[in-house]
Amino acid sequence: MEIVKIVILSLSGLMLLFVGAMRLSNPIQTYLKNSGIKLENNADMLNEMRGVSAVMLLGGILILLGVFITQFTFTSFVVAILIFLGFALGRLLSMSLDGKPNKQLIQGLIFELIFGAANIFCLVITLV
């Protein structure tokens, strides 16, 4: 079961690390390519996007630490759960208040729910 925890933490951390880095370095192109969202060259909007991207990047690093430092595994699962289910909760709330988003964003929601559930599963296994 230890290998499952390592795989889940690795995939979760690498996904956030990659997405965070891409959105931080080039938010206009990354959002258009991965989400179908066309961002304008607006300093306020780009500032907000880069802020969230930095949280994703650093969250990915924290999650990956749990792969290499066993004492940090519990914290890594908690961080992963909070980030993935936090994004999922925000998307679900937006869907109910704002309407249905495009297919790419719904796929993002599905991945967030899967990664959130997988990290909950691993956290429970760690505690038992």
Quick: pLDDT tens for 1-25.
Answer: 799 999 999 999 999 999 999 999 9
Residue-level pLDDT at 47: 94
Per-residue pLDDT band for 34 (boundaries 50, 70, 90) equals: confident
Quick: pLDDT tens for 37-56.
Answer: 888 888 998 999 999 999 99
The mean pLDDT of 28-45, rounded to a whole number, is 86
Q: How many domains does the chain have?
A: 1
Domain around 44: 2-127
Q: How far apart are the C-alpha atoms of 75 and 8, rounded to whole Å?
A: 14
DSSP-H helix ranges across the chain = 2-25, 27-35, 43-68, 73-98, 103-127
